[in-house]
Structure formats: structure tokens, C-alpha cells
Amino acid sequence: MDLKLIEQYFHISTKGAEHPLISLPLNDILNAETMKKILQNGSELLQAKGLELAVASIGLAFFGLAASKQIVMSQYNRILDLSLDNLTIQLESHDDHAHIIFKITELKWTELPTVNREAAIRAEWSTYFANTMNPLIEAASSAAGLKSAIIWNQYGARIISIMDYLKPLVPEGPMRQTLENDYLLLASMPGETFNRRKNPYDHTPCYIDSPYKDGEKLMLRSSCCMYYKRENGEKCFTCPILKDQDRAELTLKIKAAQ
């Protein structure tokens, strides 16, 4: 399997970080104190005010775990082992930002069946979210005294962005249809899979005019990434909580700088 895309975009690989500041078995961060230490270290590296930004950031790192499994399912018809026991979480500093990296202990997988493939994927998602994703997300939000929605609500627009990126890379035909079908399958799982009333991957995107190129549209995030909660931080142009007046002023600034 070629996992270069997963390594590049989600920082998941068998080699991990060269010089990690922190490196722990992923299971360890389910402990509240250990999780809080990870969040506090991340906040310092991000120059954040409070833990909101760190929680939102680690939540997007967790998103990459499920997204990587989905990509491997569609591309190779395999279930990649990204379980708690098979991963190490690492924190790496890059000047004014930080990366959360997952090191795979052993590259292993199971083949998806050709018969009843959809049922097998549904069973895998039920197990994976119950045993891995949900505990991680709930541990991170709980350690910071926040609701898990700060993480889950980011996933709707993020998965659509990933699909928009992947589709042009896949030739039209069976493989692209498989990619689309597997995404729709994940988006159709019941909310209970995620300990939520509603599936966070089931999202209707909202688009706004791009200030960078006339005639183009940008998709609003499904939730704030909390980047503004750092020193000299600002809300992104596509932030859903940015007021219309502020977005209009930001549009003028962007256009004037072009």
C-alpha cells in the first residue's frame, strides 16, 4: 500500500517524527492527566489562550485516523489497523505551529470481503468509533472541561473537503464510485455510532464568494477551528462564526492586498 498521501496530509506513518517533544502510546492519553498535559503542551506551542485551540487541533488529528481508514478501504479494499494499541502519539514543533503525529507500530490490515462488503464496513465503523475515536474525542474535550461538539462539529466540512480533493485524483469509473459510496456509507451511520444525536459526517455545505478570485466559491467550515484563540489570532475568512460585517471588511482587505 502506498500511504504517502496519508502521511502527508494526516501525519500518520510507520516512521513517526524525527525529533518529537512528546511520544506516548496512544492508549496513555485516555488518562485525564496525561491528556491534559498533551493539551497544555500543544497550547504553549500554539501560543494559545486557554485549551480550546489545542482541543480543536487534536480533534482534527483524530479526524485523520478515521479518514485514513476510509481512504484505505476505498483504494485497497482493506481495513487498516489504526487502533489504540497500534499507535504512538507524538508532538512535534515547527516554528510557530505544532504537528500531532501518529506512528504506526506495525503496518497490518484485514481484507474487506467482496460479498457483504457494506455490512463489513458498517461493523468496522461501529467498532472503531466505539473503541477508538469516541474515547479519544471524549477524553480530550473532558480534560479541557469542554463539550465534545468542539471536535465533532468540525468533521462535516472537513470530510467534504477531503472528498473534493480526492475525486479529481481518481479516474471516473468503479474506483471513484467506490470512493463516493464509502463516504456516503460513513455519512449514513446512525448518530449513536458517535455517541451523538446526529452523524457529524452528515453535513450540507454552505458556500460563500471567494475574495481571492472572482466567480469562485469557498466552503464555510462546519465549526470554528479556534485559531483566533491564540496570541494575535483572528477568525478565518471561512469561519462560520465570523460576522457578515467582519467578513465584508476582511474581503476588502484581502482584495486591497492583491
- Cα–Cα distance measured from residue 77 to residue 216, given in angstroms and rounded to the nearest whole number: 35
pLDDT exceeds 70 at position 4: yes
Q: Which of 230, 179, 146 is nearest to 72 (CA)?
A: 179
* Band (201; pLDDT cuts 50, 70, 90): very high
In this prediction, residue 98 carries a pLDDT of 81
pLDDT digits (tens, 9 = 90+) for 103-124: 999 999 999 999 999 999 999 9
At which residue does the C-alpha cell 489570532 appear? 233
Residue 9 near residue 64 (C-beta atoms within 8 A): yes
pLDDT exceeds 70 at position 136: yes
pLDDT exceeds 90 at position 97: no
What does the pLDDT average to over 173-191? Answer: 96
- Cα–Cα distance measured from residue 120 to residue 99, given in angstroms and rounded to the nearest whole number: 33
pLDDT exceeds 90 at position 94: no
DSSP label at residue 135:
H
- Cα–Cα distance measured from residue 36 to residue 141, given in angstroms and rounded to the nearest whole number: 10
pLDDT exceeds 80 at position 96: no
Residue 220 near residue 227 (C-beta atoms within 8 A): no
Find the range with the poorest average confidence among 17-21, 97-101, 152-156, 247-251. 97-101
Instruction: Name every residue whose Cβ is closer than 8 Å to that of residue 174 and which is 6 or more positions away in sequence.
Output: none
Name the amino acid, one letter, at 166: L
Q: Which of 82, 65, 28, 22 is nearest to 155 (CA)?
A: 65
In this prediction, residue 145 carries a pLDDT of 97
DSSP label at residue 197:
S
* Band (258; pLDDT cuts 50, 70, 90): confident
Give the percent of the chain with pLDDT over 70.
99
Average pLDDT value over all residues in the chain:
95
In this prediction, residue 170 carries a pLDDT of 87
